[in-house]
Amino acid sequence: MSQNLNTTYDPQNMEKRLYEKWMNKKYFHAEVDRSKKPFTTVMPPPNITGKLHMGHALDNTLQDIIIRYKRMQGYNALWIPGTDHAAISTEVKVTEALKDQGIDKRELGREKFLERTWQWKDEYAGAIEEQLMKLGVSCDWDRERFTLDEGCSEAVEEVFLRLHEKGFIYRGNRIINWCPVCKTTISDAEVIHEEQEGNFWHIKYPVKDSDTFLEIATTRPETMLGDTAIAVNPKDERYENLVGKTAILPLVNREIPIVADEYVDMEFGTGAVKITPAHDPNDFEVGKRHNLEEINVMNDDATINENGGKYAGMGRYEAREQMVQDLKDLGLLVKIEKHVHNVGTHDRCGTTVEPMVKKQWFVKMEELAKPAIEVLKKGELKFVPERFDKVYLRWLENIRDWNISRQIWWGHRIPAYYCQSCDEIVVADKMPEACPKCGHHEFRQDEDTLDTWFSSALWPFSTLGWPQKTEELDYFYPTDVLVTGYDIIFFWVIRMVFSGLEQTGQSPFHTVLIHGLIRDDQGRKMSKSLGNGIDPLEIIDEYGADALRMTLVTGNAPGNDMRFYRERVEASRNFANKVWNASRFILMNIEKYGVTTPEAASTHPADKWIVSRCNEMIKEVTDNMDKFELGIALSKIYEFLWDEFCDWYIEIAKYRIYHAEEEKEEANQALYTLQTVLGKSLKLLHPYMPFITEEIYGNLMPDEESIMISQWPKYQEEERFSEEEDVLNHFKEILRGVRNIRSEMNVPNGRKARIYVVTEKDNLIKGLEALKESALMMAAGSDFIVQKTKEGIAKDAVSVVVPDATIYLPLEELIDFEQELLRLTKEEERLGKEINRAKGMLGNERFLSKAPQAKVEEEKEKLETYEQMLEQVKERVTQIKNR
């Protein structure tokens, strides 16, 4: 067997080969099978413009762990992959590529531009797929989807028609985010709020027919050209006599009303605010409440339009500068204060976004939000961790209508047609033959496309064939778990939930697993501007995909950010090396001596201990996995394999293996236990580190086809051996004690000495005697004697106290007795401090009344143990002094 396992762990040598095997065998593919219970998840579709980054690597690693786990549990597991057309970012990239060739997008025309964009998509979209394959993801590539493919496009059009027919989609004037460079509306998800240094300009607004002024502070003086009111809080006594009066808008000399509205914060600024309904989302809502005029003062390129009077044609910042100077000249500028505030910028081009009222297509959200709220409150949808319930509900309960139209060409074109004669709007799946209003036959289709989130909101069901009633939709939908970052709960998760409920009557998934962000080793968000991004593909090339995957999950708790350290990747690779070398040792000995199923279960305490510990780990890890505590589960697998299996059990088993010729049955029991426990452990590790586990398992269990389609281990009550666990826990303490003594006294490794263990417990005596030969190998012993009394032990033997036993090493000729006395004195001092600490806690009424009873009992047990150990240490001190 072992000839197929290389001498050294070399991930580059095996990962591509194994992935091709999995693909060829169709292990990732799922078909409808009514005899099995389905488990479905969909991949959050990465942009076709993108390159795999650490966020993708984390997100897809978590999904892969879950899907591999469920597949091994016997579920008909389906993981649907796909990519998003990323409307704006793709259009920007293609436009820039054309510009580099001297081609203007507008001159090329819509149809030719879309042809070029599809070519671009075909060239670059496969890159993300190849990168995900390197990570080892086991999604069903046969079912890969694209948000602009024929099926998804049909679903998008169907949803638009249905929502419009029900009155949920309408065309109207509302406040939107406008990018003056890309010249399109953008979603909230595409607005990045950055802290920028700016100013508060304090401006006097004269009150009509009086000699008083209202002082207003603004960060955007240029928008005052569109002011249509001043608002104060109705409870603000300073201004109650002004409500209902009018003010004169400086520079424009337009009369505007002074209104009372609870939106105004009396404690902020002067307590009076300018209201510009056409250029601020909060002002827009105030304007609706008070029936205020909406005056848009900007063109699409952020220059001032004809409503700006003398400032028309100026850029927004040029106009700002001129207006401030004019206000100063008129004596209306009170002061300028430095001010740091959040400014919205477009994440694609970095341009400062302008809130602006425009005629766009919107989805009415109030009614659609209600079922999405109820499904969470009823427990039909849950977030892991639960604290994100509040984030979800807060956004839905304060939801605004959703702007879904974009002024770009790449995307799903809005299925709305305008009569060329009377401008009647007809929403339909194809060009109308005649206008229902005037009978005219010529129409033009709306130029706009739909927000990318509109199509991705349908992802869980459009990918399964909806609106067609496919067998896959009936069997695999609703999906089970969605894995995503906390940064897109608003933009994607919520839209999928209300869309799924509206179109299918069911929540698209029952659980949303939220993960945090991957930050650099200083805790900063990775970004191009900081230059601190880490390419996961480079990490894979250097350390292997398994090491990267393990690093991303180690210590990772749902919803929390984590820092990325290369040192942790190296530690993960070291763990892989450890497992690899231990497996090679086992395989070489199986190959040398052979292994068969024993006629009876082993009675050796070490075998029963490791079987019992593995059994308990299976129970705990399975429980953690079911709770999506993936990081905790991995830490338990790691600790078991590294410490208990490799560092202890293999070392204990070596004596029996090395004496296989004389004790064949004993050696076979050890090898069989090694093979069985390693096999189960590899299965638990497989979802996290699929490549190394597949390679080892294929050699360890050559009769099985693949670890990824093997059965997930189950807890067996009959494999719980508490007594043997107790024996081995004592055995480990004894060996640690011996090693510590030898280390402290600088005893040469080659110097052997008798080891005495004195204990009154019969089960310990019996169990430790069965471990005698292993103890001699592992602790450099010339003999290992377990007895109830100190009979036959030299008075000057070195000792160490462990729970329930005392170890003695007769090293009269090897030790410095003064050093031994010093060591025991320090131990006496340490135990004295522990006893005082325990007594202090147990004498504290507050601790006794508030601490759980189990904690109190634990402290009592500790005190009893420490007192016993101290008595033995004092006795040993006396012996040395009296020798």
Composition of the chain by helix, strand, coil, percent to 5: 50, 20, 35
Strand segments (E) across 135-262: 145-146, 169-179, 184-186, 191-206, 213-218, 229-232, 246-249, 254-260
Q: For 666, which DSSP code?
A: H
Using alpha carbons, select from 513, 512, 524, 791 the residue that is nearest to residue 630: 513
Predicted local distance difference test score (pLDDT) of residue 445: 96
**Site of tokens 């009424």:** 845
Give phi and psi for 595, each to the nearest 5: -145, 135
436-456 burial, b at 16+ Cβ within 10 Å, e below that, comes to: eeeeeeebeebebbbbbbbbb
Binding site listing for ATP = 528
Q: How many CA atoms lie within 13 A of 62 on its CB side?
A: 31
Which residues have C-beta within 8 Å of that of residue 872, sequence separation ≥ 6? 799, 801, 806
Using CA atoms, how far apart are residues 449 and 88, in angstroms rounded to an integer?
Answer: 10
311 and 209 Cβ atoms separated by less than 8 Å: no
834 and 870 Cβ atoms separated by less than 8 Å: no
Alpha helices for 330-422 (secondary structure H) = 366-377, 388-397
Q: For 478, which DSSP code?
A: S
Using CA atoms, how far apart are residues 644 and 638, in angstroms rounded to an integer?
Answer: 10
| Strand arrangement of the beta sheet that strand 511-515 belongs to | 382-384, 511-515, 481-485
If you compute the radius of gyration of the chain from its CA atoms, what whole number of angstroms results?
36
Using CA atoms, how far apart are residues 44 and 802, in angstroms rounded to an integer?
Answer: 54
The parts of the chain modelled with pLDDT lower than 50 are 1-3
- 427, β-bridge pairs: 416
Predicted local distance difference test score (pLDDT) of residue 103: 93
Pairing of the two strands 562-563 and 481-485: unpaired
Predicted local distance difference test score (pLDDT) of residue 1: 39
Q: For 353, which DSSP code?
A: P
349 and 182 Cβ atoms separated by less than 8 Å: yes
Using alpha carbons, select from 598, 583, 607 the residue that is nearest to residue 678: 583
SS3 assignment, position 60: helix
**Site of tokens 């560092």:** 647
- Residue 183, both tokens: 């010249």
The H-or-E segment that residue 633 falls in is helix 630-639
Using alpha carbons, select from 613, 667, 598 the residue that is nearest to residue 645: 613
Q: For 241, which DSSP code?
A: T
Binding site listing = 528
- Residue 293, both tokens: 């005029």
Predicted local distance difference test score (pLDDT) of residue 519: 85
- pTM of the predicted structure, to 2 decimals: 0.86
Using CA atoms, how far apart are residues 77 and 139, in angstroms rounded to an integer?
Answer: 9
CA distances from 868 to 759, 828, 832 (A): 13, 12, 11
Using CA atoms, how far apart are residues 369 and 455, in angstroms rounded to an integer?
Answer: 18
Pairing of the two strands 382-384 and 511-515: parallel
Predicted local distance difference test score (pLDDT) of residue 464: 98
- Residue 400, both tokens: 């605004």
SS3 assignment, position 160: helix
558 and 385 Cβ atoms separated by less than 8 Å: yes
| Strand arrangement of the beta sheet that strand 402-403 belongs to | 184-186, 169-179, 354-363, 402-403
Using CA atoms, how far apart are residues 125 and 632, in angstroms rounded to an integer?
Answer: 35
Greatest C-alpha distance within the chain: 120
688 and 637 Cβ atoms separated by less than 8 Å: yes
**Site of tokens 């991949």:** 43
CA distances from 448 to 147, 192, 364, 414 (A): 17, 23, 19, 6
Write the single-letter amino acid at 414.
I
Which residues have C-beta within 8 Å of that of residue 360, sequence separation ≥ 6? 171, 172, 173, 174, 176, 185, 403, 404, 405, 448
Q: How far is CA 755 from the centre of its chain?
A: 51
Q: For 431, which DSSP code?
A: -
Could you read off the pLDDT of 817-876 as tens digits, one per residue?
677 788 888 999 999 999 999 999 999 988 888 888 888 899 999 999 999 999 988 887
Which residues have C-beta within 8 Å of that of residue 777, sequence separation ≥ 6? 651, 654, 655
Predicted local distance difference test score (pLDDT) of residue 425: 95
Beta carbons within 10 angstroms of residue 228's beta carbon: 22
Using CA atoms, how far apart are residues 328 and 203, in angstroms rounded to an integer?
Answer: 9
Q: For 81, which DSSP code?
A: -
Using CA atoms, how far apart are residues 464 and 143, in angstroms rounded to an integer?
Answer: 9
Predicted local distance difference test score (pLDDT) of residue 816: 61
The DSSP annotation for 518-541 comes to EE-TTSPBP-TTTT----HHHHHH
Predicted local distance difference test score (pLDDT) of residue 344: 86
Structural domains in the chain?
194-351 (3.90.740.10), 565-700 (1.10.730.10), 816-883 (1.10.287)
The H-or-E segment that residue 850 falls in is helix 845-850
Q: How many CA atoms lie within 13 A of 302 on its CB side?
A: 21
Strand segments (E) across 270-375: 272-275, 333-346, 354-363
